[in-house]
Amino acid sequence: MAEKTRSDQHPSLLHGKYELGRMLGHGTFAKVYHARNLQTGKSVAMKVVCKEKVIKVGMMEQMKREIAVMKMVKHPNIVELHEVMASKSKIYLAMELVRGGELFSKIAKGRLNEDSARHYFQQLVSVVDFCHSRGVYHRDLKPENLLLYEDCSLKVTDFGLSAFSEHLKQDGLLHTTCGTPAYVAPEVIGKKGYDGAKADIWSCGVILYVLLAGFLPFQDDNLVSMYRKIYRGDFKCPPWFSPEARMLITKLLDPNPNTRITISKVMDSTWFKKSVPKTIRTKEELEFEAFTGEKSSKPETLNAFHIISLSEGFDLSPLFEEKEIEEKEEVRFATTKPASSVISKLEEVAKSVKFSVKKSESSVRLQGQECGRKGKLAIAADIFALTPSFLVVEVKKDHGDTLEYNRFCIKELRPALKDIVWTSPVDNSTVNQKQRMSCS
């Protein structure tokens, strides 16, 4: 379908799929429009980037990096990238529409109380911790890049200055000076190399200070003077800060990156863990408690259609191969042991890691006690019968973070279940041949 062109040089209809509406904002290289997906009726934010401007200033790699990062980091508190399109002169990014505006606008009306500040800060730290676990460093955290839903949930955006762990130099550090001056860590200004995780933590400290104070910790009309204050960690907490908040901010804004508080210590701090009034139990926890397994008293017998539906990735022992952890949300294996043996093994695993257990004769549900990067990890195991003496067990993530689930599979499930996993004679002969080859 041909594109209809407006006078402002962007198509009003993209690929016959998105209808562009009013402009929501603009920057040096891009404009953001309200858009509607004509197929679903869903509203999105369409970021329209001018290729010529980006190429002219040598920022095409940065643009590609932003897209790569947004595709990789899927988190409830990160703005979701739905789709990327392009024409000869433009790049179009269809993104999640966040209607509540910037956190900056909320702070501009006045400082927040500690419960509200904690509510936003907890979500920010959750995102930062998640990104760091994926080897991604944001490097431009500030209230302008934190968007709000109407329900006051936080969404982190603008990964244009982010870096991957692959960008580290031989000294294991990043060396590109970037970020917004008032929020940038002293070691970044120093141009001697810096740890991206520690630099993000500093920025989180500045953001927390701003949320509670209503102004910046390091302020000066002269940029050099402001940098001197940042170098020295020269700031004062207002008298209305609680002792716990004052202590946490002092540790976050430690000018020495080697002694600065870590993200795990932040999450374990008294101030961070203090509850904000909210629903005590999550939807996932209620579903776990409601599980009875009444629908399946015995393992369901698989027919040909079931087998075909399970055939995608039907590797009967992926848990037990020495491979790098891949972000998979389910895994299957076969066993000649009875369902009761499988269930007993899973109960042993749950007991060893202090997970709660719900079970029936053909299924098991495990749920962690501690909150991870996306809440409590929950795992479902369902048992199917190919024949009365040959079972297929499907293990999948029910809730939580995929990387944490994969690590759980590798560290806990693999050792616990290896004795009951069936391997074909062909697999055994292959293993024996490898062993003979390794010994020769």
What integer is the mean pLDDT of 411-429? Answer: 74
Of the candidates 8, 115, 140, 200, the residue annotated as catalytic is: 140
* Res 174 pLDDT > 80: no
In degrees, rounded to 5, the angle at the alpha carbon of residue 280 between the alpha carbons of residues 275 and 285 is: 130
Quick one: CA dihedral 276, 284, 45, 28, positive or negative? positive
Q: What confidence tier does 73 reach under pLDDT thresholds 50, 70, 90?
A: confident
pLDDT for residue 283: 54
* Res 230 pLDDT > 90: yes
* Res 330 pLDDT > 90: no
Neighbouring C-beta atoms of residue 334, cutoff 10 Å: 18
> 193 is written with which tokens?
């190399």
Contact (Cβ atoms closer than 8 angstroms) between residue 173 and residue 195: yes
Instruction: State pLDDT tens for residues 11-32.
Output: 577 778 899 899 888 777 788 9
Q: What percent of the chain has pLDDT over 90?
A: 28
Q: What confidence tier does 314 reach under pLDDT thresholds 50, 70, 90?
A: very low
Pick the CATH number of 103-273 from 1.10.357.10, 2.40.50.140, 1.10.510.10, 3.50.50.60: 1.10.510.10
* Res 107 pLDDT > 80: yes
Neighbouring C-beta atoms of residue 164, cutoff 10 Å: 16
Distance CA(45)–CA(93), nearest Å, equals 8
Q: What confidence tier does 296 reach under pLDDT thresholds 50, 70, 90?
A: low
What integer is the mean pLDDT of 82-102? Answer: 89
pLDDT for residue 306: 55
Of 48-52, 174-178, 201-205, 382-386, least confident by mean pLDDT is 174-178
140 a catalytic residue: yes
Taking the CA atoms of the chain, what radius of gyration do you get in angstroms?
26
> 152 is written with which tokens?
């006051």
Distance CA(330)–CA(318), nearest Å, equals 10
pLDDT for residue 295: 52
* Res 344 pLDDT > 50: yes
Mean pLDDT, the chain, rounded, equals 80
Contact (Cβ atoms closer than 8 angstroms) between residue 83 and residue 14: no
Q: What is the CATH number of domain 13-96?
A: 3.30.200.20
Q: What confidence tier does 44 reach under pLDDT thresholds 50, 70, 90?
A: very high
Ranges of each domain in the chain:
13-96, 103-273, 283-426
Q: What share of the chain is helix, strand, coil (3-state, %, to 5)?
A: 40, 25, 40
Contact (Cβ atoms closer than 8 angstroms) between residue 165 and residue 187: no
Q: Which of 61, 21, 57 is nearest to 37 (CA)?
A: 21
> 121 is written with which tokens?
């800060």
Range list of H helices, 214-290: 223-232, 243-252, 263-267, 270-273, 283-290
Maximum Cα–Cα distance across the chain: 79
pLDDT for residue 55: 87
Highest-scoring range by mean pLDDT, 71-75, 119-123, 192-196, 391-395: 119-123
* Res 171 pLDDT > 90: no
- CA–CA distances in Å: residue 163 to residues 57, 156, 201, 243: 19, 15, 15, 35
In degrees, rounded to 5, the angle at the alpha carbon of residue 53 between the alpha carbons of residues 50 and 54 is: 85
* Res 108 pLDDT > 90: no
> 310 is written with which tokens?
């399970």
51 is known to lie in a ligand binding site: yes
Per CATH, domain 283-426 is 3.30.310.80 = yes
